[in-house]
Every structure is written in structure tokens, then in C-alpha cells.
């Protein structure tokens, strides 16, 4: 499983190595790609830390305006590399002062009224073209997140529906059983 962080410093200000070192105390990253105001930290393990709290603490300790994007997990490195390029393009469209912490859910909420098919493909991954998962999600959402009703409509055992919802969550990071995530999934499938 592959993951990454993008740490950005306010435009025209160089990102200090000490800031990257602070993140190195939290995660064991494999390597860093650094530009003038941005650093991408690559890592391949789960982290049981609130990155939102981390970025707030780092900004207050260093007195630096930062923005952090936290990726979800990827099965292959080439998926991660493609995702990085797409996310960097999206980050350029978002005013720096609007957010200090970003993830896929925040990006979908920000672009919810202007989601393109490329963005939907980026966030849904392999489930963008999966007709069975699309039908499962649409039926589950139209059943008001009621598993029993949705499994009846889909002619599935309830446990099979639970397994599909779990798989969707594991791949995309959006949990259809949580209302806020379900709303985002609804918009991604429209």
C-alpha cells in the first residue's frame, strides 16, 4: 500500500528542511521530492496520527503558513504517481488561505458543483467504471442508507452488501455508511 503527503508553503516562500524533518518524526517516509514551496513525502504504511492536528502544531511552532494534503492508499506505485499529478493540478485551483488540511473528501466538497469526469475517476478509482458497484451505491443511497432495504432491492444477502460497502471504503476512503461520505459518493456518481 502506497501513500503520500504534499506539504506546501505559501507562495514565494521556500519550504524549510526543518519542517520536513518534523514530519519525519511522525512518519517513516521512503523519499522526498522537493520544489521551492512544496514537498511530497512518500510512505507505505498506515499512520495512526491526526495529520490535521500535526499541521496545526507545525504551523504554530514554525510560524509558517502551510497547507497539507494527505492521500488515501494505492495498490500500485504508478497509480500513486498519476494521482499526485492530478491532485497538484487541483491544489493550484484552490486559494491557499482557504484550507490548511486537505484530503480527497475536502477536495470533493470544494469542487462538488464542478466535478468533471476526470475528477470523479480520480476519486472513485476502479469503481468509476464498475457497473455493479455503481448500481450497489445508487441503490443503497436511494434506500436512505438502509442496508436491509437495499439488499432486498439488489437481491443480495445483507452480508454481501456489507462486504461491497467495506470494499468500496477500503479502495476509495469514502465510507457509504457515514452520511457525509454518502453525500459525496452520490455527487461522484451523478
At 18-57, the pLDDT tens digits run: 888 888 888 888 888 888 788 888 888 888 888 899 889 8
Q: What is the pTM assigned to this prediction?
A: 0.87
* Termini Cα distance of the chain: 29
CB neighbour burial string for 111-150, b if at least 16 within 10 angstroms, e if fewer: beeebeeebbebbbbebbeeeebeebbbbbbebeeebeeb
Q: Return residue ranges of the chain for CATH 1.10.10.2840.
A: 124-188
Helix (H, G, I), strand (E, B) or coil at 33: strand
Residue 165 CA: distances (Å) to CA of 135, 159, 171: 12, 10, 10
Q: Which of 129, 139, 40, 123 is nearest to 81 (CA)?
A: 40
> Tell me, which fold does domain 124-188 have in CATH?
Arc Repressor Mutant, subunit A (1.10.10)
Domain spanning 3-102 has what CATH number? 3.30.70
Express each pLDDT in 136-190 by its tens digit: 999 999 999 999 999 999 999 999 999 999 999 999 999 999 999 999 999 999 8
Q: For 100-149, write each residue's pLDDT tens digit.
A: 999 999 999 999 999 999 999 999 989 999 999 999 999 999 999 999 99
Closest CA to 96 of 65, 123, 118: 65
For the chain, residues classed under CATH 3.30.70 are 3-102
Amino acid at each position: 500500500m502506497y501513500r503520500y503527503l504534499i506539504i506546501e508553503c505559501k507562495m514565494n516562500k521556500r519550504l524549510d528542511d526543518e519542517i520536513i524533518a518534523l514530519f519525519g518524526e511522525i512518519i517513516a517516509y521512503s523519499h522526498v521530492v522537493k520544489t521551492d514551496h512544496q514537498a511530497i513525502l512518500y510512505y507505505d504504511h498506515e499512520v495512526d496520527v491526526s495529520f490535521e492536528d500535526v499541521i496545526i502544531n507545525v504551523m504554530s511552532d514554525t510560524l509558517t503558513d502551510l497547507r497539507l494534503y494527505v492521500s488515501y492508499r494505492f495498490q500500485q506505485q504508478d497509480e500513486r504517481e498519476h494521482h499526485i499529478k492530478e491532485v497538484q493540478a487541483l491544489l493550484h485551483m484552490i486559494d491557499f488561505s482557504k484550507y490548511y488540511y486537505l484530503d480527497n473528501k475536502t477536495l470533493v466538497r470544494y469542487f462538488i458543483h464542478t466535478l468533471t469526469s476526470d475528477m470523479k475517476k480520480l476519486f472513485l478509482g476502479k469503481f468509476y467504471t464498475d457497473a455493479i458497484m455503481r448500481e450497489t451505491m445508487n441503490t443503497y443511497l436511494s434506500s436512505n442508507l438502509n442496508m436491509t432495504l437495499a439488499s432486498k432491492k439488489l437481491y443480495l444477502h445483507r452480508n454481501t452488501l456489507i462486504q461491497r460497502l467495506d470494499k468500496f471504503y477500503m479502495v476509495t476512503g469514502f465510507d457509504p455508511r457515514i452520511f457525509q461520505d454518502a453525500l459525496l459518493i452520490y455527487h461522484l456518481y451523478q
